[in-house]
Structure 1
Amino acid sequence: MRNIPSSEDVVQNEKKYLESLVCVNHCSGSEIRLNLVQSILWSIGLWCDNKLQDYHWHFFQKPSLFKGVLSMALAAGNQKFDVSGNMELTLNASNEIIDSKVRMYVERSAEAACKRVTDAINAGSKVDKKHPLALLASELKSIAERQLTVYHPVLRHWCAEAGVVSASILHRFYGERLEPFLKNISCLSEDVKQVLAAAILLENYLIELHSSEQVKKGVHSPLMFDFEREIGEIARPIILDWVIAQHARILEWTGRAADLEAWEPLSHQQKQAASAVEVFRIIEETVDQFFELRLPVDITHLQALLSIIFHTLDAYLQKVVNQLVDKHNLYPPAPPLTRYKDTAFPSAKKKLVEYVVLDNAVNKKLDALTTSKLCVRMNTLQYMQKKISSLEDGIRESWSAVRVFKDQTCLDEDSHWTSNGILEMCSESVDELFVATFDCIRDSAADAIKRTCELVGARVVFWDMREPFIFNLYHGDVEGARLETILPQFDRVLNNVCALIDDTLRDIVVKSIFKASLEGYAWVLLDGGPSRAFSDFDVVMMEDDLNILKDLFVADGEGLPRSLVEEEARFAHQILSLFSLRAESVIQLLMTSSEHSSGLEAHKYGDRHLGDAHTLIRILCHKKEREASKFLKQYYHLPPSSVYNGAAVEDSSMKSPLMADLIKRSASFRWSDKSSSSFRTLKKKIQDATSDFRQVGW
C-alpha cells in the first residue's frame, strides 16, 4: 500500500490494465463502481475506520495491533465522493487532513466508550451497591487511564491534541450528569462520599491526560476542568459538619470506656489498660475516615480534627486524674508534742498514733487505688505518651499528601500549588496547630504520670506499710524495733511493683517509693510521738538503718543510682546529725532560727527545713536528754510523754513569751537544707556560741 503512490515505477501497460478492472461496491443502498486499486483501498479504509472509531473496544484485548491498524488507515488515503458520485482517493494527505482524521477517531471512540459504560451502569450499581455516578466515574477513569498509557503515545504522533480531545469529551459527559447531583447535596452521606471522591479522582486523571503533551514539551496550559472547585465549595461546609458531629460521639465512647475500666493489664506483655487502647482505636478510626474521604479540605478541617483529638484525650486524662486522691490524705496526723521523761517512758502502753480517718468519698476512691492498679494506670499513661507521638506522625504524613481545597481566600503569601494540584500551605501555620494540640496533651499526660507516681510511693509507704514502718519502727525502743525486721516486706513490695510496671517507668516509680520511705523515716524521727525518744547510742543504730534502707534501693547497682540515693537521703542524715548534738546546741539553733513562730503550728509535708522552728522543736521533743525536757517544760509547757492522755493539741502548744522573744531577737544562724555551709562548721560555731548560753539561768 505504501508503494501505490509511486506510480512512476509502474509499467504503463500494467497501470492501464489495473484501471480497466472495475469492481462494484454497494454503500448505503447505492452502487459504486471503482477500479481494482480504488476498491481495495476503499475496503481497507472502511475496515480500519470501523475499528478505529471504537478503538477502546476493538483493541482492548490486543492493544499491540492498534498502531498497525492506524498506520494502515492513514496509508489507505482519504476517500471522498465528488458531486458526480465518483470517488476521489487522496494519497499523501496533508498533515491537516491526517490530524482531522485522527481527531475524528478519538472523538468517536470516546463517545462510543461513554455510551457503552452508560448502558451497563445501572446493572453494575445494583450488583456493587454503589451509586451509579460513582460507578460511572470509576469506569470513565479506567478509560482515561487506558487512553493515556496505551493509545495516546501512538495518537500524538499524528494529532498532538488527542489527549485534550479525549479528556474534554469525558469531562463534558460526566459533568452533565454530575451537576444535578451536586445541587441536591445537603449532608455527607455514604452516596455523597462515594460520588464526590470518585469525581475528584476522575478529574485528576483527566487533568493528567489533558496536559500530557504540554507537560512533555515543558509547557503547562491552564486547567480547564472545575470538578474539584465545585466539589470543594459544596463539600467544605458538610465536611466540617461531619467532623464536628464526630466530637460528641467520640466523647461519649471515651467516657463509657473510662467508666467501665477496671485497671487490669491486657496481658503480661501488654501492661496497659484496655480503655486507652479503645480510645486510640476510636480516634484512629475517625482520622482514617477523615482522610479516606479523599475530598478537598483546608486548614479549618485540620483544626477541627485536631480539636476532637485534643478534647478526647484531655477528657480521658481528666477522668484518670480525677479518680486519684491527694497523697497527703494518706499521711498520718502528727500526735501532740510531748517531752521525754526518764521515769515515765518505759511504762507507756497506749497506742499513741491513730489511723487516718478519711472522708467517705476519699476512702471509696482509695479502695480502687491499690498499688497494682496504680501501676496499671501509669503503664496506661505511658502507653498514651507513645501513641500520641505515633498518632501525630501519622496525621502529619496523611496531611502532607491530602488535596487541599483551592480557596484563594485561605491562601497566604507562603502557600503555593504543586504540579499535581496539592497545596503546600505555610508549614508554620500547620506546625502551630500540631504543637498546640499534641504538646499540650503530652504535658497533661506527663503531669498525670507524675501525680500517679507520687501516689504510688505514698500508698506503699504510708498505707500498705503503715503498720510495720510508720507505726512500729523504733516504737518504744530503737534496738528492739530496727528497720531490718521489715526489710523482707519492703523487698517484696518492690519486687511486686517492678513486675507490674513498664520497664520505662521502673526507675521513677522506685524513686518515688524511696522518697516516700524517706518521708516516712523523717516522720518517725520528728512526728513519732511520745512512744519514740532517741539517745546518742540510738542515733548510731539509726544511721545504720538509714544506710541499710539506701542499700536496699541501690540493689547492688541494679536499682537506683548511688548518687541519686545519697542526694535524696541527705536531709534524713542531717536530721540524725541534729539528734547527735547536745540539747543546748539545738536550743541555741532554735533561738537563732529565722522562723518567726513558736514551731508548734501545723505544717505541710515536704516543707520542712533543717533549721526552722518546726524541725528543731521536734528534735528536742524526741531527745532522751534532761536539758531538752527541762527546756520544753519551762518555756513550751509540754506534758511528759508518760502522762499523755489524748489531750487536745492546743493544750500543749501554749507559746512562751520568753521563747518568742528569743526567736525574734537573733537571726545570725539561717540554716536550711539549701545552705552551702557544712554541718561540721556550723556545729563548731554553735559550740562557741553556747559557751555563754550555759551560764544563763532558766
Structure 2
Amino acid sequence: MQEWSEKRLLDYHGCHEKGFSGNATEGMEVLLSLALAAGKIVADWEGAAVEGNFAGDRVDCYIRCSMKSAFTNILENGLDDVDSVIVDRDHDPGVMLMQLARDTEQLAIFERRNFSPVLRRWHPAPVAVAAVTLHGCFGVVLRQYLAKVNILTEELVRVLHSASRLEKALAQMTAEDAADCDDGRAKAVVGDMEPYEVETVVMGLLKTWMDDKLMLGRDCILRAKDTESWIPKSKAEPFAGSAMELMKLARATVDEFAEIPASAKDEVVQDLVDGLETIFQDYISFVASCGSKQSYLPPLPPLTRCNQDSGFFRLWKRAALPSCQAPEGSPRGGGSHHIPRPSISRGTQRLYVRLNTLHYVLTHVQSLDQSLATSSSSRFDRARAAAQSAVSAVAEVAAHRLIFLDSRHSFYQGLYAGSVADARIRPALRLLKQNLSFLVSVLADRAQPVAVREVMRASFEAFLMVLLAGGNERSFARADHATVDEDFGSLKRAFCTCGEGLVPRTWSRARPRTAEAVIDLMARSTEYLIDAFGVATCESIGAGVGAGGGGDDDDNDYRDTPVPPTTRQWHPATRTRSSGCCATATTRPPTSS
C-alpha cells in the first residue's frame, strides 16, 4: 500500500494532472492520507525512530520529486519539438531555453493554484518548495548552456532576460509563501534559492568580448611597428595601410557594441572607450616617432673677428677652397640660368604619409566619438588631443627636412653664397613652388594648411640663418638691404599664392615680422647699430644685476656680462649684437673711419 501510494505521489503531476472528472487534485488528499498513514505504520513496525515532522518531510520529498519529474517532461518535450523541425531550420538552443523558461513559470503557477492548497495541510510552505525546486532545475540547464557560449549575442541576451524574469517570478512566489508562514523551515527554503546572477554573467561576457576586441587592436599595432613602410596604398588612399586596418577594427567593435541589447553595457562603455583610446594613443605615438627638427638644422658656424678683406681670411679661404666648392648642379656661382628640379626625397614623402595617416586617424576617432558620445559628454578627448599635437610635430619635422635637407643646395647653402647679387633667391623660389605643388598634391585636404604653414615657418628660419649664421662664405653690406628685402618679399608672396586659404593673410603678415625687423637693420648706419648694441648691453647688465640682487662693485657687473648666446631664436637684438661686436662671420664688420 505504501509503495503504491508513494509511487503516485512522487510524480503526482503525471498521475493527477487530469485527475478524475477533469479535476486535477481529485483524490490527492485521500492518497496523501493513505501514504502518510501507511508510512507511519511501517516505520513503527520496523522500529525506526521518527524524528521531527514525519508528514512534513515526506510531503517535502513528494513536492521536490514531482516538480523535478514535471520539469524533465517539459524539457524532453521541448527537445522533441526542436528535433522535429531541425531539418527545416537551424534552431539555436536559446530558442528552447526561452520556451522552457515560459513553461516553467506556467508550471509553478499551476502548482500554486491546484496542488499547493491540498499540500499545505501537511507542509507549511509548499509553494516555496516547488518554486525553489523549479528554480534549481532551470539553473542546471541554464549553466550548461552558458558553459558552451563565449560571446554575447542578441539571442543570448534574450535567454538571460527570460531567465531573469523566471527567477523574479519564482522568487516572488517563494517570498509570499514564506511570509504567510511562521515555521522556520519556510525561511530556510528561501535560502536554498541560488541566484542565476544574470547581470554578472552578462558583465563577464561583455568584458571577455571587449578584451578580445582590444587584443586585436594591440596585435594590429604590433604588426604595424614591424612591417609599416609608410607607402600609401593608392592616390585615393594616401595613408598607411595599418591605419585603415586599425580603424576598421575600431569601427567594427563600436558597431557591435552598439548592437548588444544589454543594459549592463552602459556600465562598461567607459572601459571600452579607455581601451580604444589607449590603443589610439599608442598608434599615434608610433606614427609621430619620426625624430625632431633639430636633426635637420645645420650647425652654427664658428665665431671669428676676422675682416672679410684680411690676409688671414683670404689665406684660410684659399686653403679650404677644394672642400668648400659647391657640388655639381648647385645654384652657387650664379642663379640666373639654374633650372631646379623637384627635390622632395623619399624620406620627406614618407613624412607626408605619416601626416595623412594622423589626419585619417583623427577623422575616424571623431566619428567614433559621435557614435559613443552622450548628450552631455564626449569621448576620446585625449586621443584627439594627442593626434592634433602629433600633426603639428610631424608637419614641423617634414618642413625642416624639406627646407634644410632636400632644398639645402638652393636655399641655405646656396642663397647669397659668395655674392648677394650673384646668388639671389629666384632659383630657390622656383624649387620651393614646385615642392609646394607636390606637397599639396600628395597631402589630404585637412593636412595641407598645417604643412604649408610649417614650410613657411622653416623657410623664414632658413632665411634668417642665412643672414645671421650663414658662415664665412657670406658677407653683407649696407647696400645689400634693398636686394635682401626684395628677395624676402618674393619669399612671402610664394606662400600667399600657393593655395587658396592655406596660409591666412593675418598669419602670413604676423610671422615674417621678426625677419623683417632683422632685415631692417641692414639699412641702418654703423652708429645706429653701435647705439642699439649699447642699449641691449645695458639691458643685459640690468637683468644680471636684478637677478643677482645687486652689488657694491659696478666693475664686477660689467665683467660678468655674458656673451650673447646663440639660441637660434633670431630677433633684431641678435642682429644688433652680431653687427656691433663684429663677433660673427656672417656680417661684415663696419670699416674704421
Q: TM-score range by the shorter chain?
A: 0.5 to 0.7
CA deviation profile, 1:642-663 (whole Å, cap 9, x unmatched): xxxxxxxxxxxxxxxxxxxxxx
Kindly report which structure 2 residues correspond to 1:389-468, keeping only aligned pairs within 5 A, or say none. Answer: 389-396=366-373, 431=377, 434-435=378-379, 438-468=380-410
Which residue is 1:579 aligned to?
522
Which residue is 2:47 aligned to?
none
Instruction: Say whether the 8 Å CA contact 1:141–1:202 is kept in structure 2.
Output: yes
Report the CA distance between 1:179 and its aligned residue: 1.7
Which of 313, 327, 330 matches 2:296?
330
Which of 442, 456, 468 matches 1:500?
442
Amino acid in structure 2 at the alignment position of 1:489? L
Q: Structure 1 residues 320 and 618, CA, compared in 2 at 3 Å: closer, same or farther?
A: farther
For the aligned residue pairs, the C-alpha RMSD in angstroms reads 4.4
Which residue is 1:591 aligned to?
534
Amino acid in structure 1 at the alignment position of 2:447? L
Which residue is 1:622 aligned to?
586
Report the CA distance between 1:200 and its aligned residue: 4.1
Instruction: Say whether the 8 Å CA contact 1:124–1:135 is kept in structure 2.
Output: no
Amino acid in structure 2 at the alignment position of 1:120? D
Which residue is 1:521 aligned to?
463
Q: Which runs of 5+ in 1 are unaligned?
A: 1-78, 81-111, 144-170, 208-225, 356-366, 398-426, 631-693
CA deviation profile, 1:49-79 (whole Å, cap 9, x unmatched): xxxxxxxxxxxxxxxxxxxxxxxxxxxxxx9
593-602 or 480-489, which deviates more: 593-602
Q: Structure 1 residues 195 and 489, CA, compared in 2 at 3 Å: closer, same or farther?
A: closer
In structure 2, distance between residues paired with 1:466 and 1:518: 14
In structure 2, distance between residues paired with 1:353 and 1:185: 82
* Partner SS for 2:409: helix
Which residue is 2:505 aligned to?
562
Which residue is 1:281 aligned to?
248
In structure 1, distance between residues paired with 2:571 and 2:515: 11
Which residue is 2:570 aligned to?
608
In structure 2, distance between residues paired with 1:551 and 1:174: 85
Q: Structure 1 residues 128 and 142, CA, compared in 2 at 3 Å: closer, same or farther?
A: farther
TM-score, with length taken from structure 2: 0.63
Report the CA distance between 1:182 and its aligned residue: 3.5
Report the CA distance between 1:204 and its aligned residue: 10
Q: Which runs of 5+ in 2 are unaligned?
A: 1-21, 24-72, 104-130, 168-192, 327-343, 542-559
Which of 370, 374, 379 matches 2:356?
379
Instruction: Say whether the 8 Å CA contact 1:475–1:481 is kept in structure 2.
Output: yes
Which residue is 2:156 aligned to?
196
Kindly report which structure 2 residues correspond to 1:600-679, keeping only aligned pairs within 5 A, or say none. Answer: 603-605=566-568, 607-612=569-574, 616=579, 617=581, 621-627=585-591
In structure 2, distance between residues paired with 1:176 and 1:316: 49
Kindly report which structure 2 residues correspond to 1:60-79, keeping only aligned pairs within 5 A, or say none. Answer: none
Amino acid in structure 1 at the alignment position of 2:245? E
In structure 2, distance between residues paired with 1:368 and 1:261: 18
Which residue is 1:181 aligned to?
141
Report the CA distance between 1:258 and its aligned residue: 4.0
Q: Structure 1 residues 293 and 600, CA, compared in 2 at 3 Å: closer, same or farther?
A: same
Amino acid in structure 2 at the alignment position of 1:501? L
In structure 2, distance between residues paired with 1:191 and 1:334: 63
In structure 2, distance between residues paired with 1:275 and 1:306: 20
Which residue is 2:478 aligned to?
536
Report the CA distance between 1:581 and its aligned residue: 1.6
* Partner SS for 1:471: coil
Which residue is 1:120 aligned to?
81
Report the CA distance between 1:574 and its aligned residue: 1.0
* Partner SS for 2:237: coil
Identical aligned pairs, as a percentage? 22
Which residue is 1:483 aligned to?
425
* Partner SS for 2:299: coil
Q: Structure 1 residues 385 and 124, CA, compared in 2 at 3 Å: closer, same or farther?
A: farther
Q: Structure 1 residues 557 and 384, CA, compared in 2 at 3 Å: closer, same or farther?
A: closer
Which residue is 1:408 aligned to?
none
Q: Structure 1 residues 376 and 256, CA, compared in 2 at 3 Å: closer, same or farther?
A: same
Instruction: Say whether the 8 Å CA contact 2:232–2:239 is kept in structure 1.
Output: yes
In structure 1, distance between residues paired with 2:567 and 2:515: 17
TM-score, with length taken from structure 1: 0.54
Amino acid in structure 1 at the alignment position of 2:236? Q
Which residue is 2:272 aligned to?
305
Report the CA distance between 1:299 and its aligned residue: 4.7
Which residue is 2:113 aligned to?
none
Q: Structure 1 residues 524 and 201, CA, compared in 2 at 3 Å: closer, same or farther?
A: same
Q: Structure 1 residues 544 and 228, CA, compared in 2 at 3 Å: closer, same or farther?
A: farther
Report the CA distance between 1:526 and its aligned residue: 0.4
Which residue is 1:552 aligned to?
494
In structure 1, distance between residues paired with 2:258 and 2:411: 57
Q: Structure 1 residues 336 and 599, CA, compared in 2 at 3 Å: closer, same or farther?
A: farther
In structure 1, distance between residues paired with 2:582 and 2:588: 12
Amino acid in structure 2 at the alignment position of 1:604? T
Amino acid in structure 1 at the alignment position of 2:156? L
Instruction: Say whether the 8 Å CA contact 1:599–1:615 is kept in structure 2.
Output: no
Q: Structure 1 residues 618 and 625, CA, compared in 2 at 3 Å: closer, same or farther?
A: closer
Instruction: Say whether the 8 Å CA contact 2:517–2:571 is kept in structure 1.
Output: no
In structure 2, distance between residues paired with 1:189 and 1:568: 63
Kindly report which structure 2 residues correspond to 1:40-119, keeping only aligned pairs within 5 A, or say none. Answer: 118-119=79-80
Report the CA distance between 1:589 and its aligned residue: 2.0
* Partner SS for 1:236: helix
Amino acid in structure 2 at the alignment position of 1:388? V
Kindly report which structure 2 residues correspond to 1:115-194, keeping only aligned pairs within 5 A, or say none. Answer: 118-122=79-83, 131-132=92-93, 134-137=94-97, 178-184=138-144, 189-190=149-150, 193=153
In structure 1, distance between residues paired with 2:86 and 2:371: 34
Report the CA distance between 1:602 and its aligned residue: 5.3
Instruction: Say whether the 8 Å CA contact 1:340–1:530 is kept in structure 2.
Output: no
| 2:236 is aligned with 1:269 | yes
In structure 2, distance between residues paired with 1:393 and 1:464: 41
275-284 or 238-247, which deviates more: 238-247
Q: Structure 1 residues 190 and 623, CA, compared in 2 at 3 Å: closer, same or farther?
A: closer
* Partner SS for 2:300: coil
Amino acid in structure 2 at the alignment position of 1:274? G
